[in-house]
Amino acid sequence: MLAEYSSLIALIALTAILAYSFYAVLIAGQLSLAQVGLASLAAFTSALVVPAEPLFGFIPPLVIGIVFGMFVGAIAAFILGLPVIRLRGVFLAIATLAFGEMVRIFLINQSWTNGAQGLSFSKLVGPWIAWIALAVVAYWFWRLSGSRLGRAFAAIREDELAATTMGIDVPRYRMASFVIAGAVAGLYGVLLAHFSRFADPNEFSFTAAVDGLVTAVVGGVTLFIGPILGSAFLSVLPEVQRVIGIDAGWIRPTISGVLLLVVILFLPGGLSGLIPLRKSAKRLIVDPSLQPTLPSLPAAGSELVSLSGLGKSYGGVHAVQSVDLTVNAGEVLGLIGPNGAGKTTLVNMVTALTPPSTGSGTVLGVPLSATTKAHRLAQAGVARTFQQIKLFNRLSALENVLVGGYRVTKDTLLRRLLFLPSARRAEREAMAMASAQLIRVGLGDKAANAAGDLSYGDQRRLEIARALASHPSLLVLDEPAAGMNHVEAESLSELIRSLAADGIAVLVIEHNVRMMLATCDRIMVLNFGEIIAFGKPSEIARDPRVLEAYLGSAGSDEDADAASVLASENLAQVSADRDDAQLGLHIDPDPDGVTNPEENR
Amino acid sequence: MQLFLDGIFLGSIYALFAIGFTLVFGILDRLNLAHAAVFTAGALVGIEIVTRFGVPIWLLIPIVLVVGAVLGILIERIAFRPLAGRHDAHFAGLISSIAFGAILLSLLQALYGADTRRFPADAFPSTRVEIFGATVSLLQVIILIISVSLMVVLTWLVAKSKLGRGMRTIAENPHAAAVLGLNVGRISSTTFALSSALGAVAGVLFTLNVNAASLGIGHAVELKALAVIVVGGMGSLPGALVGGLILGVAEVLAVNYIGSSWRDMVAFGLLFLILILRPQGLFGARKTREV
């Protein structure tokens, strides 16, 4: 009975291994169609090295073939990756597809592959070996999924830019996923050749690549078991149809096509989406004994950021002109100004997302230049949030914060593979740190929710928690109070003050001027890319140029709100001055200050 | 000269196929992998119609255009529209269009069998003419005229007509287009219909050129078309035309000077090089979607 199906059973395993090769790139958000070409390279070159007899009398020929094939697959993927890794989406898919076809045509035209006639291999692989190989590969991906490396891949898939600002070296990790996929593809190629005993380069065609991709996607990439499910489903389907007596010819492919369509349209997560997820990153771990000791922050008052003459222009437009600024540990520095004043451009330069056009600067010892990579700054201790929220939407809130902890955790994959207790402890420590940050921003009860499902205000808080998880020396917040009511804004203000008290330097952009006046130690006001005022909140509130900037901006409701707050501050100031005047200190009331902005509009 | 003209004929068919392909990508940002099956369908249905009713070529082309358009609407409705709004619409669209293509091919197999089919002998005039010292058949000239004029009409449609304005608005920003009151669903359908109509006609013309069609012809052309639209610039209609002609000529030259076994290397080598050196293609303005 089983013997009848032994070849099907082996093929399920082999197809699953090919699907894992696609899975390895898909989990990092990349679509590569080179896998089959890499497999082909590995298979045919292995024919050159696999000996007929065990090497040194005890190393089986297949082991040599596998090791060699995986090595060839990985190296070829690396070489292919060098030029193509910067391509995205469809472009990457097409470039890798072209590579696959080029490999096929090259091999067809070589004499050592015997061209289109094909090459014979010795039969070294049966169902047992195929399934053992599959088990090893699946085990590897299972242990990967909960490790720091696995989380980094997921972060890159969800949002590359946010991943970069967590300190993840995105190109390197994308390359890593490429190379892993290449090694798995190499394994597949060698196993397949030694299973079917015969291979010609035309078998490793575009169609085969599409089949592998379809298997991976049908299985789903949300769970490590996906490729096996996909392979079982797609391999068994024709067999089932044969057994229940459906004619070969056109009916079987039609039914397969319809089922594929149904799966893809109605099961967004693939087949593995049907399995209820037992997410490990759901529960908080609140255990003070697990809090690791983190490196201490720079001493309060030490200079973390120093900018001199920093500017950015786009074409002829000066977004930011010649800013001189120092930010010290433990202070809250506010950055305000009407819409379009250049605030975000300035913090983008400070976090190395935008290269400066002029001037120079140093952030946490890293000089800012055109080549400074954002992930390097992040690793030096800069964390940030974004004006347009950039969360890893499909990951849970807790997982988001775990990714944030990338900088202060070590990779656990190798130790996880061996089930070392230290890996488990490291994971629990990371979880405890993340839990603490989540609780700190008041999201303790929403740890298991997908980030994309949270309310706007909660998403803002989650972004802050994620930034804090990296234990930053400098925290950059870009409009953290947007969308919060004033009670929420007040607790945010308290949070910011407490962070500064811990010794973190906080650079915050915000339109809520009332909150800024209450929160910041110093405030810088930008308008049209230039600093128009810089000083203590009380000085800024009184400065007529600031009010003027907000009134003059044709802008938004936010600007009008800011103007009215400033106006009322000025009013308060004026009445205080009047009180002073009655005491005999004569100061001219500022006539602009009493103007109600609403009447001016 | 003979080689050059042969290359132009071949290239114009590649271009016609690719222009439909790139139209959908440029406007809807989706790669429709069922396009190859539509190409095959156009070829086989065309042969069937000629065999059964003996229609002349000037009637055949409009019929196939309609068949292709209907298929295009089906593709949009079945394989793409249900995915709208899904975060993985990109990947899922690739797979669902592959599935649709597979279904279409197996239905074609049911209708016409798996064997290679040909037009009946003497279905079309076999006059040969001499141009610049090269011999070409009248049929080839007709093929060239049909494909070039279809491409010109399409380019005009996209550039000038109200429909084209709608398409370009959607390409820029689908949400804004919907807010502005454009019927995004209908324009998407129309885009797919146009795209597939051209794909189906390309299938017929290709078959006229080589006088053989089997279920597999779509795949080979699909890969070539990917090369064409990348070389010309993803989403660029003139790019697809020029890219198609370049590829056609390059292939014919390669067969002549390097050997037919290396022919396909030209397409993929060109594709790979362009992607590395100039990913936006010769005519492309790549949309950058950043922060």
Decide if A518 touches B, using CB distance below 8 A.
Answer: no
Q: How many angstroms separate the CA atoms of B61 and A120, rounded?
A: 48
Query: Do B109 and A249 count as a contact with CB atoms less than 8 A apart?
Result: yes
What pLDDT does B141 receive? 84
**The architecture CATH gives domain A303-542:** 3-Layer(aba) Sandwich (3.40)
What pLDDT does A400 receive? 93
Query: Do B100 and A217 count as a contact with CB atoms less than 8 A apart?
Result: no
If you average pLDDT over every residue of chain A, what do you get?
A: 85
Query: Do B226 and A94 count as a contact with CB atoms less than 8 A apart?
Result: yes
For chain B, the first-to-last Cα distance in angstroms comes to 51
Q: Whole-prediction pTM value?
A: 0.86
Count of all residues that appear for chain B in the document:
291
Which residues of chain A does CATH 3.40.50.300 include?
Answer: 303-542
**pLDDT tens-digit series, residues A462-515:** 999 999 999 999 999 999 988 888 888 899 999 999 999 989 999 999 988 888
What pLDDT does B288 receive? 42
| B95 interaction partners in chain A (CB closer than 8 Å) | 213-214, 217-218, 260, 264
DSSP string, A497-564: HHHHHHT-EEEEE-S-HHHHHHH-SEEEEEETTEEEEEE-HHHHHH-HHHHHHHHH----HHHHHHHH
Q: How many angstroms separate the CA atoms of B63 and A486, rounded?
A: 66
Which of B99, B105, B271 shows the shortest C-beta gap to A260?
B99
Minimum CA–CA partner of B271 in chain A:
A98
**pLDDT tens-digit series, residues A289-305:** 777 777 778 888 788 99
Residue ranges of domains in chain B: 12-215
What pLDDT does A593 receive? 38
What pLDDT does A552 receive? 67
Of B219, B218, B238, nearest in space to B228 by CA: B238
**Chunked mean pLDDT (size 10), chain B, 291 residues:** 84 89 86 92 91 84 94 94 80 87 91 84 72 77 86 87 87 84 88 94 88 84 86 84 89 84 83 82 56 32
**Which has more confidence, A88 or A25?**
A25
Best residue of B94, B222, B273 to probe chain A, by most A CBs closer than 10 Å: B94
Q: Tell me the pLDDT band of A1, cut-offs 50, 70 and 90.
A: low
Q: Tell me the pLDDT band of A590, cut-offs 50, 70 and 90.
A: very low
Q: Which residues of B37-61 are buried (b: 16+ CB within 10 A; e: fewer)?
A: bbbbbbbbbbbebbeeeebebeebb
Q: How many angstroms separate the CA atoms of A193 and A200, rounded?
A: 9
What pLDDT does A569 receive? 67
Question: Is the confidence at residue A169, as pLDDT, over 60?
Answer: yes
What pLDDT does A422 receive? 85
* Structure token pair of residue B18: 């690719």
DSSP 3-state assignment of A391? Answer: coil
Q: Tell me the pLDDT band of A588, cut-offs 50, 70 and 90.
A: very low
Distances (CA, A) of A444 to A179, A278, A456: 38, 19, 16
**pLDDT tens-digit series, residues A236-262:** 888 888 888 776 677 777 888 888 888
Query: Do B275 and A87 count as a contact with CB atoms less than 8 A apart?
Result: yes
If you average pLDDT over every residue of chain B, what do you get?
A: 85
Looking at the complex, report in whole angstroms how far the Cα of residue B253 sits from the nearest Cα belonging to chain A.
Answer: 17
Decide if B226 touches A, using CB distance below 8 A.
Answer: yes
Find residue A530's DSSP bridge partners.
A527
Q: Tell me the pLDDT band of A589, cut-offs 50, 70 and 90.
A: very low
| B223 interaction partners in chain A (CB closer than 8 Å) | 97, 101, 206
What pLDDT does A599 receive? 36
Q: How many angstroms separate the CA atoms of A585 and B55, rounded?
A: 104
**pLDDT tens-digit series, residues A29-87:** 888 889 999 999 999 999 888 877 777 777 888 888 999 999 999 999 999 999 888 88
